[in-house]
Amino acid sequence: MKKKFSLALAAMMLAGVLTACGGNGGGNAATGSNPSSGSGAASSAASGSETPTIDAIKAKGEIVMLTNAQFPPFEYLGDDGSVQGVDPDIAQAVADKIGVELKIVDMDFDGIIDALKAGKGDFAAAGMTITEERLKEVDFSDEYVTSSQMVVVPAGSDLKADDAMLSGKNITVQEGTTGDWYASGDTETTGSEIKDAQVLRYKSAVEAGMMLAQGKADAMIVDQKPAEAIVAAQGGKLVLLPEKLTDEHYAFAIQKGQEDLQAVINEVLKEYNGEKVDELITQHMGIE
């Protein structure tokens, strides 16, 4: 059953806000926005420089991305142990645009927003869904990927992606994700009507999939492309149900008020929207 609810609404509101600040609302060709430099004109008044955040990043010589690399194709560990994926590729383009090195910090997903607020990174790129709750803590870039929560079941299961049928079941999730909120029956944030599920929370979406494949649960709730990648990696043990539970939009997160950095990220995302992101997704699918 497909629902449109607050996540999509938050994204629409955000697009409106960003357009008003001189960024481009995701998807629509914003009129009158500044196509060059990313100089964050809106933030210039308070500080001496027009680009205080970018200046500080240049002075450090590196930009730090926070992520959780257990979420293919958006981020995963490559054979050499480095973090690979759609988000690192886009983040590298952001670093190149500013002219600094990219450093990636891999951490638990549910710690990313606090780490960002504490200044442990310059931005988060983690297949992160724009939500109203998160908007209270951080700012988001324009959106760059549309996604949904999906249900994965063991092969042979007759469960359906239906809240009533999922009620009372054992459901694996990655902790602190919108899939966790959905499985937990958080109606206000996700529109979920699941009641009294036993939610098995893992630090990694890949692990949540492995536990399901090992028969530890009835279902997993996870984002669409990671669901496809996890099902493919489990060689026939798991099946992805076709119904979408939610409509969500991914964006990079940054500390509140850093319009200059937000503008540079948005410029890069503008180059990557649509086809180029799809190409990156295809390129990074089919890995473990």
Stretch that binds ligand ARG, among 16-24, 66-74, 208-216, 264-272 (CB under 6 A): 66-74
Contact call for residue 123 and ligand ARG (CB under 6 A):
no
Contact call for residue 67 and ligand ARG (CB under 6 A):
yes
Choice between 172 and 178, CB closer to ligand ARG: 178
Choice between 11 and 100, CB closer to ligand ARG: 11
Interacting residue with ligand ARG among 6, 43, 172, 177 (CB under 6 A): 177
Residue position matching structure tokens 């099946």? 239
**Which amino acid is present at 246?**
T
CA torsion sign for 169, 175, 179, 180 is positive
Binding-site size for ligand ARG (CB under 6 A) equals 16
Task: Select from 180, 208, 146 the least CA-distant residue to 7.
Answer: 146
Residue position matching structure tokens 């205080």? 52
Contact call for residue 220 and ligand ARG (CB under 6 A):
no
For ligand ARG, the binding residues in 69-88 under the rule CB under 6 A are 70-71, 74-75
Residue position matching structure tokens 């027009």? 50
Min CB(70)–ligand ARG separation in Å: 6
Assign 3-state DSSP to the chain and report helix, strand, coil percentages, each to 5.
40, 20, 40
Burial of 157 (0-12, 13-18, 19+ CB in 10 A): middle
Contact call for residue 63 and ligand ARG (CB under 6 A):
no
Contact call for residue 151 and ligand ARG (CB under 6 A):
no
Min CB(38)–ligand ARG separation in Å: 25
Interacting residue with ligand ARG among 54, 205, 229, 261 (CB under 6 A): 205
d(CA 2, CA 157): 21
Q: Which residues of 178-192 are buried (b: 16+ CB within 10 A; e: fewer)?
A: bbbbbbbbebebbbb
147 in Cβ contact with 22 (< 8 Å): no
Min CB(52)–ligand ARG separation in Å: 28
Min CB(215)–ligand ARG separation in Å: 24
For ligand ARG, the binding residues in 101-120 under the rule CB under 6 A are 109
Under the rule (CB under 6 A), what is the footprint of ligand ARG?
67-68, 70-71, 74-75, 109, 126-129, 174, 177-178, 205, 223
